[in-house]
Amino acid sequence: MKKVILYTTPNCMACRSVARTFEKKGVVFDTINLEQHPELVEQFREVGLTSAPIVQTEGLTFSGYRPGKIEQLARLVLGS
């Protein structure tokens, strides 16, 4: 199974929505708080990812609550 990382910020409604959707779909993911990793924020900015949440897995990275991308990721990691 591909590893999924959810990069979040405190009090982020979209971050919580993505996490809930992943849980409902059975997507296993790790969460990283960007407030504790400012070096990652800069790296993401350099590639145009400027808002949380940022979702990353092998072959797919996106930011924000994007239902189509979440569905695509679920199919990618769950093999369905």
Beta bridge partners of 37: none
pLDDT tens for residues 57-74?
A: 998 999 999 999 999 999
State the pLDDT confidence band at 3, using cuts at 50, 70 and 90. Answer: very high
- Domains of the chain in start order, with CATH, are 4-78 (3.40.30.10)
pLDDT tens for residues 11-56?
A: 999 999 999 999 999 999 999 999 999 999 999 999 999 999 999 9
Q: Residues 79, 2: contact at Cβ < 8 Å? A: no
Residue with tokens 């609550």: 65
pTM for the model: 0.92
Task: Tell me if the bond preceding 38 is cis, omega within 30° of 0.
Answer: no
